[in-house]
Chains A and B, each alone.
Chain A
Amino acid sequence: MSSPAAPVLAASDLVKIYPPASRAGRPSTALAGVSLDLAEGTCLGVVGESGCGKSTLARLLVGLERPTAGTVLLQGQTVTSFRRPELARRLQLVSQDPFSSLNPRLTVSSALTEVLLVHHRVDGKKQAAARVADLLEMVSLGPQFASRLPHEMSGGQAQRVAIARALAAEPQILVLDEPTSALDVSVRAGIVNLLAGLRTDLALSYLFISHDMAVIRQLSDQIGVMYAGRFVERGPWQSVMSEPLHPYTRALLQAVPEPHPDGSLLGGPEGSAEESTEGTLEPGESPAAASAQNGCKYAPRCPIRIDRCLTEEPPLEIVTGAHEAACYRAGVPVEPGDVPAEAGGVGERA
């Protein structure tokens, strides 16, 4: 990605291989060489399906796990070299389930005060109380929430508290791992809008991870699409969403159920085009199964693959402007008749 300023967070060639789960098992490659730069004040959206490695990426970026190979640089310094409190003052993780990240026996006020005191963000308890009120206001919760326990809140309210707690440490970067995925439609909208506003108001940088293309689009400056432990496409959000280059990105976008009917219901008489997609997209191979091949990991599912795709791995390269793709067929249109050899079967592997 092109960015004039030095990135606040940078990863180069991250590899994460987990040991076999059993003696008979094989090691599992969750990340197979991921590099990224997060420019200050921007949001990089990372989208992909189950098992693509996006959550592993989040854990490596926040220093919860060490990579098998590669480095993560936070403001130019290796992330794992920071002492925990120093790291927490720069970088915070917000995850999917707020209840699992909040202590069930601490009131909101105690949870926030604890963070404020540990990180010396306030002088004494009196200042802390004022700051707690500020933080609650920042996430649009009334002062009455200060005395609440996690079980006295809805999922959306708890997620706001989790965000407030992350902000209490005054980090520059938030790594957001599916922060809206467990929420109802109307609640999700509130959190998405909140995150958009906070980024501007506090000049934060976001690494935003989601399986949801529409939510990713809502918040991101840059979008990276992951498949089998790699970025297969990355670029400015407008380009990725409106001119996707990689056949996987296009399949992903096509599969998103849009909340406005186009008149052709799935399986309808005029929807015969739908029938062909039923077998075309071979779903979610695990990275472990996929890493057995030498070529492009998407090739077995790809409707427009050529022989080269099966033997050689395409690198992530600039195609136009700042828009990158890892595909020998980048931008080649998919015709209705293009079907991979395995079509007809489901081809999904456990």
Chain B
Amino acid sequence: MTDRDVTSAEPVLAIRDLSVGLRARSGVTELIRGVSLDIRPGERVGLVGESGSGKSLTMLAVMGLLASPVAVTGGSVTLGGTQLVGASDRTLRALRGSEIAMVYQDPMTSLDPLQRVGEQIAEGLRAHGVSRHEASERTVAALAEVQLPDPARLARSYPHELSGGMRQRVMIAAALAGNPRLLLADEPTTALDVTIQRQILSLVARIQRARNLAVLWVTHDLGVAAQFVQRLAVMYAGRVVEVGPTTAIFSDPQHPYTAALLDAVPSTTGERAALGQIPGSPPEPGSFPAGCSFASRCRQALPRCTRAEPILEQRPSGVEAACFVPPAEWRA
């Protein structure tokens, strides 16, 4: 990035070879398989994939919010120097809100409908030892930072009195009130209208830059990723299949899945032609095939692809892709 050299800094969050599985008496069903990702201070990273690709599960694993029988089965997640995998509830609770914060898709499931929004934000701060008076001042400041009008009055309103966009602003204010270093966001703008989505993305981008915050943004929307994140990881069947600078991935995708996904997105400009389709559907967890998981749907697949599993490798364009067939050899 031109403004800040983020690549040299130590990562805020380092995910290494993370695997998540569903434990049953009959064995472990793999859901996420060897995901690695770094997020550095001041960096906005996107995790993109379709339903069931494992993107939300990855985020829950980072937060330590997996519920039995789903659990981390391998790898590590370090925040600063702290290992999060296997950390005690007490350690995780101390980190959540103060070091890591999370925003979800539906603010109504995170907000208590019977409590004033200001109290809910202050409660989170008080849990980390902030005094009552300071918590209330910081709450109003947090609501002002997300550009809610008349924050002192707004702090006294109940969630149902707010619109969807305002509620999501409240959630962002709550997430940022504890001054975390890392913000994890799971499709927070997906349920919003595009005009409101645009405002929320601009707002988070501005705050993120001002605070040099590290952001991991999970989305199914390639458009949102294109406009919002500097680096992008594309997930398919529990793996990262391509990762690198957003502009490089969009202008010159190195994995056939990424390329097919981009072809499937309609645009508001350009020629109007039939959208690209991907035949078949992703493999179900528990029945991941041998070799590359995408091979059976891939137009570029070679016999080799169903035998061996490609790993992420550096490409000249600056991205890493897990595919045996470079774009130069792709069939049209």
A contact residues vs B (CB 8 Å cutoff): 49-50, 154-156, 184-190, 192-193, 196, 211-215, 217-218, 241-242, 251-261, 263, 265-269, 271, 274-275, 277-279, 281, 283-284, 345-350
| Residues A255 and B194 in contact in the complex (CB < 8 Å), given A269-B3, A283-B163 | yes
List 27 A-B pairs, Cβ < 8 Å: A186-B50, A186-B260, A189-B264, A189-B275, A193-B274, A211-B194, A213-B268, A214-B267, A214-B268, A217-B267, A254-B198, A256-B223, A257-B194, A257-B201, A258-B227, A259-B250, A261-B246, A265-B205, A266-B201, A271-B205, A279-B199, A281-B199, A283-B193, A346-B165, A346-B166, A346-B169, A350-B161
Binding site for A on B (CB under 8 A): 2-3, 44, 50-51, 147-149, 160-166, 169, 193-199, 201-206, 208-209, 220-224, 226-230, 246-247, 250-251, 260-269, 272, 274-278, 281
Q: List residues of chain A with CB within 8 A of the CB of B220.
A: 184-185
Distance (Å) between the CB of A110 and the closest chain B CB? Answer: 24
Q: Which among A155, A214, A253, A284 is the interface contact of B163 at CB below 8 angstroms?
A: A284
How far is it, in angstroms, between the C-alpha of A211 and the C-alpha of B194 when the chains are bound? Answer: 8
The interface centre, meaning the residue of A49, A187, A266 with most chain B CB atoms within 10 A of its CB, is A266
Instruction: With both chains docked as a complex, state the minimum distance between the C-beta of B45 and any C-beta of chain A, in angstroms.
Output: 12
Q: Cβ of B199 and Cβ of A277 under 8 Å apart?
A: yes
Tell me if B's interface is mostly helix, strand, loop or mixed: helix
**A residues in contact with B230, CB < 8 Å:** 265
Cα distance A241–B272 when bound, in Å?
Answer: 12
Interface residue from B160, B268, B274, B281 paired with A253 (Cβ < 8 Å): B268
Q: State the CA gap A189–B202 with chains docked (Å).
A: 28
CA distance A261 to B247 in the complex (A): 6
Shortest distance between the CB of B284 and any CB in chain A (Å):
10
Q: Is the CB of A49 within 8 A of B193?
A: yes
Asked if B166 and A350 sit within 8 Å, CB to CB, the answer is: yes
B300 to chain A, nearest CB (A): 16
The one of B165, B263, B277 that contacts A348, using a Cβ cutoff of 8 Å: B165
Total contacts A to B, CB within 8 angstroms?
180
CA distance A345 to B199 in the complex (A): 12
Q: How close is A257's CB to chain B, nearest CB, in angstroms? A: 3
A49-B194 in contact given A193-B275, A218-B272, A260-B250 (Cβ < 8 Å): yes
The smallest beta-carbon distance between A317 and chain B, in angstroms, is 25
Smallest CB–CB gap between A275 and chain B, Å?
A: 7
Distance of A16 Cα from B225 Cα, bound (Å): 38
Measured CA separation A155–B220 after assembly (Å): 15
- Option from A186, A214, A269 in Cβ contact (under 8 Å) with B2: A269
Contact across chains for A257 and B272 when beta carbons are under 8 A apart:
no
Are A217 and B272 within 8 A (Cβ)?
A: yes
CA of A253 to CA of B269 in the docked complex: distance in angstroms? 10
**Given A189-B277, A277-B198, A347-B149, are A258 and B161 also a contact pair (CB < 8 Å)?**
no
Return chain A residues, CB-CB under 8 Å to B209: 267
Q: Which of B198, B227, B272 lies in contact with A261, CB distance below 8 A?
A: B227
| A residues near B265, Cβ cutoff 8 Å | 185, 189, 214, 259
Selected contact of B278 from candidates A186, A217, A268, A275, CB within 8 Å: A186
| Cβ contacts under 8 Å, A213 to chain B | 194, 268
Residues of A within 8 A of B204 (CB): 267
Across-interface contacts of B260 in A (CB, < 8 A) = 186
Residue of A at shortest CB range from B148? A346
> Which of A186, A257, A283, A346 is in CB contact (< 8 Å) with B149?
A346
Residues on B with beta carbons closer than 8 Å to the beta carbon of A155: 51
CB distance from A54 to the nearest CB of B (A): 12
Report the minimum CB–CB distance from A248 to chain B (whole Å).
Answer: 9
Residues of A within 8 A of B160 (CB): 350
Is A257's CB under 8 angstroms from B226's CB? yes
Q: Which residues of B contact A268 (CB under 8 A)?
A: 3, 205
Q: Given A190-B277, A279-B199, list of 4 further CB < 8 A pairs?
A: A185-B50, A211-B193, A218-B275, A348-B196
Smallest CB gap from A263: residue in B: B247
Question: Given A193-B277, A260-B250, is A278 in contact with B193 using a C-beta cutoff of 8 Å?
Answer: no
Given contacts A184-B50, A186-B261, A261-B227, contact A252 B147 (CB under 8 A): no
Is A257 touching B278 in the complex (CB atoms < 8 A)?
no
A51, closest chain B residue (CB) = B193
CB proximity of A79 to chain B, nearest CB, Å: 29
Residues in chain B near residue A284, CB distance under 8 A: 163-165, 193, 195-196
Q: Can you list the 4 inter-chain pairs with the closest CB atoms, starting with the nearest? A: A267-B205, A257-B223, A189-B264, A189-B275
The residue that A241 contacts in the complex, of B162, B250, B268, B274, with Cβ under 8 A, is B268
A-chain residues with CB within 8 Å of residue B262 when the two chains form the complex:
259
Most chain B beta carbons < 10 A, residue from A155, A186, A258: A186
For B274, the chain A residues whose CB sits under 8 A away are: 193, 196
A254 closest partner in B (C-beta): B198
Distance between Cα atoms of A215 and B251 in the complex (Å): 22
Contact A350/B275 with A255-B197, A261-B227 known, Cβ cut-off 8 Å: no
How far is it, in angstroms, between the C-alpha of A269 and the C-alpha of B149 when the chains are bound?
26
**Chain B residues positioned under 8 Å from A254 (CB to CB):** 198
Cα(A17)–Cα(B326), bound, Å: 59
Contact assessment for B269 and A258 in the assembled complex, using a CB-CB cutoff below 8 Å: yes
Report how far A312 CA is from B87 CA in the complex, Å: 64
Give the nearest-CB partner of B249 in chain A: A261
The residue on A at minimum CB distance from B247 is A261
Please judge, given known A-B contacts A196-B274, A259-B226, A265-B227, whether A278 and B202 are in contact too, CB under 8 Å.
yes
Within the complex, the shortest CB–CB distance from A244 to chain B, in Å, comes to 10
The contact of A214 among B199, B266, B281, by CB within 8 Å, is B266
Q: Which of A156, A251, A257, A260 contacts B197 (CB 8 A)?
A: A257
Contacts of A275 in B (CB 8 A): 202, 206
A residues in contact with B276, CB < 8 Å: 189
Closest to A49 in B: B193
Q: What's the Cα separation between A255 and B148 when bound, in Å?
A: 20
State A214–B260 Cα separation when bound (angstroms).
17
